[in-house]
Structure 1
Amino acid sequence: MPHPPLTPGDIKAAADRIAGHVRPVTVAPADSGNVLALEFMQHTGSFKARGAMNFLLAHREAGTLPDAGVTIASGGNAGLACAWAARANHVRATVFLPENAPPVKVARLNSYGADVRLVGTRYDEARAACAEFARESGALASHAYDHPLVAAGAGTLTGEILCQVPGGLDTIVVSVGGGGLFAGVATAALEAGVEVVAVEPANCRALNAALAAGHVVDAPVDSVAADSLGATRASGTALAVARRDGVRSVLVDDEAIVRARQRLWDERRLAVEHAAATAYAYEPRPTERTAVVLCGANTGLADLT
């Protein structure tokens, strides 16, 4: 069943709900009047903590947290956030990941006390196993991106960014996998009169493919950033938001992503994952005032020189 449209009111409710539970984003100056939103400094190392906390707190308020706890399928960051939020709310978390998930993320999941289950090599395989577990156990099924509470939590970033940029912004730039971050950030940004650029790897382009087809479709997953951006399909909510005026879909190749990640390290000593560097690979228009969301930093350092 399709989710109802995401609204600015949903994001305001999320901001009120998670206040004091998550870290406000740090905004730092970049080149030519642009700024960087350092959301990788968030709990668990990515923006996903916002949506996970909003999801669990909303269910706690409604009295719908089961004894079996919560379960999620994730390429890593959403699972980390779910496990962290579950521990904070004193409920169990069972997290399904592909077998090729980065070891650094698996280790952190274990540190949060999650029951970690590695299944298959693609997100869809982990998702199917998670759905079967939820049916059998009665655990509350969360989602890495395709849930209104998760997207609304992610969207709380926008207000925090805008209130720290007194001169205003033209554009917020975000990386896109399944579209939860994009849908939330864009819903709030467009309401404030700020445009949004949705950046995807050229060979990992679920949202761009959906826009081209006119509906959600399966898309190939083949990118250096696939561990975080490797959704086979974008959410229907993300597609609906992406069709609005003020949104641009941009593709960047893996070479540009790798260069952007290295540049963040060389010039700023910021070690981020390839998903965050995907947004940074976007080249602003002349005089365009941008805020680039650096969404996560659950990465190893061995390949940064």
Structure 2
Amino acid sequence: MSNPVTLAEIRAARDLLAEITRSTPLAWSRPLSESFGGPVWFKCENLQRAGSFKVRGAYVRIHNLPEHERARGVVAASAGNHAQGVALAATLHQIPSTVFMPEGAPLPKVAATESYGAQVRFAGTTVDQALIAAREYADETGAAFIHPFDHPDVIAGQGTVALEILEQCPDVNTVLVGLGGGGLLSGMATAFQALRPQTRVIGVQAASATSWEPSLKAGEPVSIDGMATMADGIAVGRPGELTFEVVQDCGVEVRTVSEEAISRALLLLLERNKLVVEPAGAVGVAALLEPLEKFEPPIVAVLSGGNVDPLLLLRLIRHGLAAAGRFLSLRLRVQDRPGALARLLSEIAAADANVVDVEHGRMAPNLAIGEVEVGLTVETRGASHAATVLKRLHDARYRIESSQ
């Protein structure tokens, strides 16, 4: 099968989007550049209109609809970013839009989609189930179905990200792209294959929601179940037919990252670059934090979206701090005597660590007579400082039941 999208179509999409989307900046990462011995940049699609790259493909697809199809409105399915992109693109074209979202979709994404002008309906618990409902709605009403990734116009629109990167960093050697259904990756891979084939383009998935590795192994798209990842925006259970062919034909590599690496990436982006990024948008950065492989700079990691629920962000920050060794959780046994807890806390203070939370219990059935169990959450400066705290407690002969 030949590539369904050409470089000329991606360039035409770039011209079309010139007054609609913004050319998002590259942000330099000092710590990662030092780690890799060369420039590492973040392509900030989290700063795009509607908060992600999705508006690019959605606008091109809707613009190219015949007038009689536009008149019946459009329908889409999404966990959030495609929903907002379609809603904004439809409103810009002055046509109605309906978006099906999974039950439990983040409330800020639902509210934003509605604020851009779409009518939101809920169906199923996954994007794949919402897609089925959206297709049924299209069949019933005649509304044009705007697929989140598996259409040439969508792929061409997403491929415009690559054109901007090549203008901003012409000698880029490695590009890391979050991978869900494959629209962004296939569009970018097409552009790079045509303009700079020596650039290594890598798709990145969450290890607990990877449909691409088994699909590439089987030589065709396969479905998976049981996805469980904080990166809900790329939790797609089956690659697209078109996107799979493009990714396979372009020889694109696929890597997976852990939930801990995603958390650490979010924390790095927030602390060092002051960038709010959703988990799915940070997986490219997470790949740079995994220790198994090095990448050749100049490196560009695409931050594909920034639409994150503030409540989820609080949990993600805490998770990231723990993954980076900045929070140490301990359970210890101490003697049930006056001053025992104070002595334990003084050891923590002497190690220059800060106690965030304390639990003190006498009722656990496995405790000996005269013992109490103490649970501590301790704030540290990182993994080496956490190790120093543990060593001090061991040297003081405290019995540590568990630590993480």
Greater Rg by CA: 2
Which runs of no fewer than 5 residues in structure 2 stay unpaired? 319-404
Structure 1 residue aligned with 2:184: 181
Structure 2 residue aligned with 1:43: 49
**Per-residue CA shift, 1:124-149, capped at 9, x if unaligned?**
22111111111111111111111111
Shift, 1:12, TM fit: 1.4
**Is 1:95–1:116's contact at 8 Å kept on the other side of the alignment?**
yes
Specify the SS of the correspondent of 1:163: helix
Q: Report matched runs for 1:70-85 at 5 Å.
A: 70-85=74-89
Q: Give the distance between the partners of 2:117 and 2:97, measured in 1 at CA.
A: 8
Is residue 2:21 matched to residue 1:16? Answer: no
Is residue 2:263 matched to residue 1:254? Answer: no
Shift, 1:29, TM fit: 1.7
Specify the SS of the correspondent of 1:296: coil
Provide the aligned length of Structure 1 versus Structure 2. Answer: 301
Q: Give the distance between the partners of 1:127 and 1:109, measured in 2 at CA.
A: 16
Relative contact order higher in (CA < 8 Å, ≥ 6 apart): 1
Q: Report matched runs for 1:59-78 at 5 Å.
A: 59=65, 62-78=66-82
Shift, 1:108, TM fit: 0.4
**Per-residue CA shift, 1:49-107, capped at 9, x if unaligned?**
10011111111xx4243322000011111011000001111000000000111111001
- TM-aligned CA distance change 1:286 to 1:239, over 3 Å: closer
Specify the SS of the correspondent of 2:175: strand
Greater than 4 Å deviation, 4+ residue runs: none
Shift, 1:221, TM fit: 4.8
Is residue 2:223 matched to residue 1:214? Answer: no
Q: Report matched runs for 1:213-252 at 5 Å.
A: 213-244=218-249, 247-252=252-257
Specify the SS of the correspondent of 2:99: strand
Specify the SS of the correspondent of 2:63: helix
**Is 1:190–1:246's contact at 8 Å kept on the other side of the alignment?**
no
Q: 1:126 aligns with which of 126, 130, 141?
A: 130
Specify the SS of the correspondent of 1:291: strand
Q: Give the distance between the partners of 1:121 and 1:86, measured in 2 at CA.
A: 25
Shift, 1:243, TM fit: 2.4
Structure 1 counterpart of 2:177, which letter? Answer: V
Shift, 1:202, TM fit: 0.9
Specify the SS of the correspondent of 1:198: strand
Specify the SS of the correspondent of 1:23: coil
Q: Give the distance between the partners of 1:86 and 1:3, measured in 2 at CA.
A: 30
Which runs of no fewer than 5 residues in structure 1 stay unpaired? none
Q: Give the distance between the partners of 1:133 and 1:247, measured in 2 at CA.
A: 34
**Is 2:98–2:119's contact at 8 Å kept on the other side of the alignment?**
yes
**Per-residue CA shift, 1:226-254, capped at 9, x if unaligned?**
42011111112222232246521111111
**Is 1:55–1:149's contact at 8 Å kept on the other side of the alignment?**
yes
Structure 2 counterpart of 1:223, which letter? Answer: A
- TM-aligned CA distance change 1:3 to 1:41, over 3 Å: farther
**Seq. identity, %:** 36
> Pairwise CA RMSD of aligned residues?
1.8
Q: Report matched runs for 1:1-305 at 5 Å.
A: 5-30=4-29, 31=33, 32-59=38-65, 62-166=66-170, 168-192=171-195, 193=197, 194-244=199-249, 247-283=252-288, 285=294, 287-299=296-308, 300=310, 301-303=313-315, 304=317
